[in-house]
Amino acid sequence: MTIHSQAYTSSSFLQQFPELVLCHGGNLTDLCNLAGLQEDLILGKPRLISFKKFIQLLEIAASELNFPDISLALCSRQDINVLGPLSAHLLNCNSAHDAFEKIRDALQLIVSNISMEFHENHSNLEMRFIPQLPELQFRPQFQIYLLASSTLVYRELTENKAPLRGCFFTFEDSKNIYAEHLSHYFKCPIALRAPKISLTMGKEFLDFSADEISQRIKRKLHTQLEARADISRQVSEVIQQCLISGNAKLSIVAKALGYSERTLHRRLESSNTSFNALLSASRLELANQYLEIPYYNLADIAHLLGYKHLSAFSRSYKRWAGITPQQARRLLR
């Protein structure tokens, strides 16, 4: 689903970028200035950033630091957070095929203006990527990050029990800069100057049950979140990940965290808060982020916050902030 005229993504996907820059003797401030990005967007709390700027930053770092595989290194360091919302998407799946379709839908919401098609033939499954981003679609770092991040998700889902069979890029590598790095990361045959951007895998994936995939994600997510003492933060993170799907309900969030509803309610109560309070706070925080960016219209924002109708979002926002979203947008801008 594409609801935007241009692409934005979360700065959380750059969480490991400062460490990579430091390890390669770079200066984060200089790189951000060259990319036209504020440094605090990377070092601070996750926010929406232009996907064009995101890729531009990777390209500049690759060139300035002589680090052509920076996108692969970044994806290698991503943690289970990227999979957080997937457990909620997969709760009602009946098969691996159904799960694959829902995963595709979830990934498309990470970056807008990229269509993903799922194709099946007698021996392979193919995930085909169709970018509607003319400024980016032939750039190496864009294609590499796109396929590497998708591969990360796929490997987490299958625990590497269904390896990739092929990885296809449309860009050229006349100086042989990328080929070795790509082969090492993807561990499958690599094709450059291909007619399409895609990943292929064997049909073994369809042997996994949807329940097995969902339980695996929830176990990993629960293990990571349990290491944090703040239950309110845990719940807020999962709520924000689940809002787009409309699944930010107590029952869904509790399952995604591996709790029963009663246990989660009790833990929140002991922290002097409630699920509804955290849901409203998360929606208000995200709404203000979206309202600062003209590229989101109010109907988009309502959808991204899990509302079926703009009127419901407008009423909620006025209850939280005392002003309408239109008035808030004028003040924030």
Residue 49 falls in which region: left (phi positive, over 0), alpha (psi -120 to 50) or beta: beta
Reported as a pLDDT band with limits 50, 70 and 90, residue 1 is very low
- 87-135 per-position pLDDT tens digit: 556 666 777 777 777 767 666 655 567 788 888 888 888 999 988 888 8
Average pLDDT over residues 286-293: 87
How far CA 223 is from CA of 215, 234, 238, in Å, comes to 12, 11, 14
In the CATH hierarchy, which top-level class contains the domain 230-328? mainly alpha
- Dist CA 7 CA 13 (whole Å): 14
What is the pLDDT, as a whole number, of residue 226? Answer: 61
How far CA 275 is from CA of 101, 136, 265, in Å, comes to 29, 40, 7
Average pLDDT of every residue of the chain: 84
- Dist CA 297 CA 160 (whole Å): 40
Output 112 or 59, whichever has higher pLDDT: 59
Pairing mode of beta strands 164-168, 190-191: parallel
Q: Of the ranges 46-60, 85-99, 220-234, which is most confident?
A: 46-60
pLDDT value at 4 more than 50: no
- Dist CA 100 CA 205 (whole Å): 9
What is the pLDDT, as a whole number, of residue 197? Answer: 96
Q: Which residues contact 272 (CB under 8 A, 6 or more apart)?
A: none
Name the nearest CA neighbour of 278 among 328, 310, 228, 234. Answer: 234
- Please name the helix (run of DSSP H) or strand (run of DSSP E) that holds residue 170, with its range, or none: none
Name the nearest CA neighbour of 243 among 101, 88, 72, 98. Answer: 88
- Dist CA 36 CA 31 (whole Å): 9
Cα 150 to chain centroid distance, Å, stands at 10
What is the pLDDT, as a whole number, of residue 274? Answer: 95
Q: Which residues contact 212 (CB under 8 A, 6 or more apart)?
A: none
CATH 1.10.10.60 spans which residues of the chain?
230-328
- 129-173 per-position pLDDT tens digit: 988 888 888 899 999 999 998 888 788 777 777 889 999 999 999
Encoding tokens for residue 81? 């957070």
- Dist CA 98 CA 286 (whole Å): 29
Pairing mode of beta strands 197-202, 124-131: antiparallel
pLDDT value at 11 more than 70: yes
What is the pLDDT, as a whole number, of residue 310? Answer: 94
Cβ atoms < 10 Å from Cβ of 200: 19
Kindly report the backbone phi and psi dihedral angles of residue 120, in degrees, each rounded to the nearest multiple of 5, phi listed first: -130, 130
DSSP letters along 85-140, please? HHHHHHTT--SHHHHHHHHHHHHHHHSSSEEEEEEE-SSEEEEEEEE--TTTTT-H
With 0.85 as the threshold, say if the pTM is over it.
no
pLDDT value at 5 more than 60: no
Output 330 or 100, whichever has higher pLDDT: 330
